[in-house]
Structure 1
Amino acid sequence: MARAGLTARRLTRAGAELADEVGFEQVTVSALARRFDVKVASLYSHVRSSDDLKTRIAQLALEEMADRAAAALAGRAGKDALTALADVYRDYAHEHPGRYAAARHPLSPEAAAESAGARHAHMARAVLRGYDLEEPDRTHAVRLLGSVFHGYVSLEASGSFDHSPPSPGETWPRILDALDALLRNWPEK
């Protein structure tokens, strides 16, 4: 019988904390069982496998970021909205590196449909309402935002920018300025 107080939600939160401490790739059902000082088998009534646990952590991270982004975007448009959304992702990655990595975990179509992933796409499209883009350019721009935001954050997290000045913190607003200029002057096909 499972230890009283263990639930899928509690295990997911503990797994997210573990991911922030040791890295998302190190999160397993076995590692979580050690954290709770229980046998691995007792966790299988709450999570099916390590991949199920990782999927749940990914969904939690996507939800947390979407909630932060929605609050940050309220009442903003144009470059202010662009910067707010970008800063949410970068700040979240700094505060929760394991959870941020979890948000990049591949999800099955079913898990993706249950996640806050669609909210992220809707918010990116909302940011782009401040720019004069029609389809298919709006979709291209959504992909560009994701590539720039997540590419920069991933490179920064891996230490890729630590070897030369200026600091990543100085570069970030310059990249957002350039991205804003590009979106305002989107190239003709």
Structure 2
Amino acid sequence: MERTQLNRTTVIARAAELADETGFDAVTLAAIARSFGVRTPSLYAHVRDLAALRDGITALALDDLTDRIADAIAGRSQYDALLGFAAAHRTYLQEHPGRWESLHRRAGAGAVEAPAARRIVRVTDAVLLGYGITGDDRVHATRIVGAALSGFLDLERIGNFAHSTPPAEESWAELLDALHLILTHWHHRGELREKEIS
């Protein structure tokens, strides 16, 4: 059997595959080396250490997810764009659970400063711009949407919604409706809060 040519790209790609198969936390340099049939020190010419390897998986996942989001929101705005954005996250988790895990950790500079990180910010901004959300408000809205989607999907992934009715699919639709409502009325939230207090 022909041996795969080792380089940074092939090493990280193999690590991402193993993350999906065995879980992100199970990925080690030794496991990657075994999968290539080489000794662990052979990998240090391509990745500095385990932290760099894991940041590489995160950057790869960001790139993959960004491509999916870009396709899902193309030509859409507001609710339709939000639906595409959310669906891209959900299908990515279903197809690449280990890579999804890599996106839910405190990433190092290798991931945070990667071009992929800037790309996913741009596609997220595109969704928010459809609601007229700009400036510093983008950060708040991004965190709220991200926390809602990730929280739901992580709970669904571990089976927390499997023991009760209605089905999670209905709750997913309710979540997206709620997020749409929040984003639609984003610029009036202060007024609404004051009305509630008075």
Give the structure-2-normalised TM-score.
Answer: 0.87
Spell out the pairing of 1:9-158 with structure 2 (5 A cutoff): 9-109=9-109, 111-133=111-133, 135-158=135-158
Distance 1:145 1:118 in 2: 18
Structure 1's 4 and 166: CA in aligned 2 closer, same or farther, altered over 3 A? closer
The aligned amino acid for 1:168 is A
Greater share of residues in helix: 2
* Unmatched segments (≥5 aa) in structure 2: 192-198
Q: Which moved more, 1:111-120 or 1:23-32?
A: 111-120
Q: Give me the identity figure in percent.
A: 41
Distance 2:20 2:78 in 1: 32
Structure 1's 77 and 9: CA in aligned 2 closer, same or farther, altered over 3 A? same
8 Å contact from structure 1 (residues 55, 105) kept in 2: no
Q: CA deviation at 1:115?
A: 3.8
Q: CA deviation at 1:159?
A: 1.7
* Unmatched segments (≥5 aa) in structure 1: none
Give the structure-1-normalised TM-score.
Answer: 0.90
- Report the RMSD for the aligned CA atoms in angstroms: 1.8
Number of corresponding residues: 187
Distance 2:46 2:79 in 1: 44
The SS at the match of 1:165 is coil
Describe the superposition over 1:61-98 as per-residue Cα deviations: whole angstroms up to 9, x where unpaired. 00100111111111000100011011111110010000
Distance 2:136 2:4 in 1: 52
Q: CA deviation at 1:145?
A: 0.9
Residue in 1 that maps onto 2:179: 179
Describe the superposition over 1:112-165 as per-residue Cα deviations: whole angstroms up to 9, x where unpaired. 122412222222221122224454434321211111111111121122212212
1:167 aligns with 2:167: yes
8 Å contact from structure 1 (residues 18, 27) kept in 2: yes
Q: Which moved more, 1:10-19 or 1:147-156?
A: 147-156
Q: Which moved more, 1:87-96 or 1:151-160?
A: 151-160
Residue in 1 that maps onto 2:195: none
Structure 1's 21 and 4: CA in aligned 2 closer, same or farther, altered over 3 A? closer
